[in-house]
Amino acid sequence: MKGKLDYLNVGCGLKYHKDWINIDMYPDCSDIIYCNLLKGIPFPDEKFEVLYHSQVLEHFPKEKAFDFLKECHRVLKINGIIRVVVPDLENIVDEYKKQLNENLKNPSKETEANYDWILLEMYDQAVRNYSGGQMGKFLFQETMENEQYVIDRIGYFGRSGHKMPLSKNNVVSKKTNTVLGIIAFLKKAIKSAKGEIFYSSSGEKIKIGNFRLGGEPHMWMYDRYSLSRLLKDVGFRDIKVLNPFKSDIPNWNLFELDVKDGLIYGPRALFIEARK
């Protein structure tokens, strides 16, 4: 780890920086260290100046979130910074209400498609029992009435399948490019886990345990109030809501963890920082 910053990227997935220490349950390159986050963070107390995790906390069951953040608190130095990025429940709810009212007053094929998509954002990744869920089916439609709306809500992963920027000169269409980005992300997120649980429906048994425990489903959702309260309960202070571009982390924009090539990874996400 010689030359690494005392910066830790927890559950980095597809987003990592070679100058950080990057850990993940499913590493796929030499810059990422294997770590089973369910068993804690394998570093000594007060080792890091910065700790970052994006789209990770929501994959922990609600009753495990406090313990996970307590581990984050433990490995941070005094006055160290934690930056947490999660899907923003408040944004999703506001958008749902907006699309609901639009369809009650002035429906069209596009507004109906927008309504269908925002419901998927709200529920699909929490309730799905198979890879991609209904969201995957939506993305593979022959005709997508609200393609730009979906792309705008997805962000960088949706716009950049295999790091191909959207452009009129692209050989790959915008919709295909969006699908490639989402599927690439899902392939990274979906892994088999130990354990078997059976779900009975109409007398049939469907094995869902491996999938539900594999890292893709969302186990809880947060807004600026609930996440701030949780961080405070853990022992963090100076809690503040920021945006993808702003951070107290020195040279933040050089690392391209929330913004890459001018595109935000999660344009509708919640970005919160705090100090130990």
Distances (CA, A) of 202 to 60, 133, 174, 205, 207: 30, 20, 40, 9, 14
The predicted pLDDT at position 261 comes to 81
The predicted pLDDT at position 156 comes to 67
Range of the domain at 238: 7-88+222-275
Same-domain status, 145 and 97: yes
Provide the domain count of the chain.
2
Same-domain status, 268 and 197: no
> Going residue by residue through the chain (276 aa), what tens digit of pLDDT does each one get?
445 899 999 999 888 999 999 999 888 888 999 999 989 999 999 999 999 999 999 999 999 999 999 999 999 999 999 999 999 999 999 999 999 999 999 999 999 999 999 999 999 989 988 777 888 888 777 788 898 898 889 876 544 332 323 333 223 333 444 444 554 554 444 443 333 444 445 544 556 666 666 677 899 999 999 999 999 999 999 999 999 999 999 999 999 999 988 888 889 999 999 999
Residue 137 in tokens: 């089916």
Angle at which helices 224-234 and 62-75 cross, to 10°: 50
Query: 103 burial class (0-12, 13-18, 19+ CB within 10 angstroms)?
Result: middle
> Domain with 28 in it: what CATH number?
3.40.50.150
- Is 58 within a domain? yes
The predicted pLDDT at position 194 comes to 37
Same-domain status, 125 and 79: no
The predicted pLDDT at position 155 comes to 77
- Is 248 within a domain? yes
Same-domain status, 120 and 175: yes
**CA–CA separation, 157 vs 232, rounded Å?**
31
- Is 217 within a domain? no
Same-domain status, 103 and 205: yes
The predicted pLDDT at position 191 comes to 41
The predicted pLDDT at position 236 comes to 98
Same-domain status, 62 and 103: no
- Is 2 within a domain? no
Query: 163 burial class (0-12, 13-18, 19+ CB within 10 angstroms)?
Result: exposed
- Is 31 within a domain? yes
**CA–CA separation, 65 vs 237, rounded Å?**
17
- Domain termination residue (choose one: 161, 192, 212): 212
- Is 48 within a domain? yes
Same-domain status, 190 and 107: yes
Same-domain status, 180 and 256: no
The predicted pLDDT at position 211 comes to 65
- Domain termination residue (choose one: 212, 235, 255): 212
Same-domain status, 47 and 124: no
Distances (CA, A) of 57 to 112, 214, 232, 234, 266: 31, 14, 15, 14, 15
DSSP state of 242: -
Same-domain status, 207 and 255: no
Beta bridge partners of 206: 199
Distance of CA 36 to the CA centre of its chain: 18
- Is 139 within a domain? yes
Other CB atoms within 10 Å distance of the CB of residue 13: 22
Contact call for residues 85 and 271 (beta carbons, < 8 A): yes
- Is 54 within a domain? yes
Same-domain status, 102 and 173: yes
Contact call for residues 119 and 97 (beta carbons, < 8 A): no
The predicted pLDDT at position 164 comes to 29
Same-domain status, 136 and 197: yes
- Domain termination residue (choose one: 157, 187, 212): 212
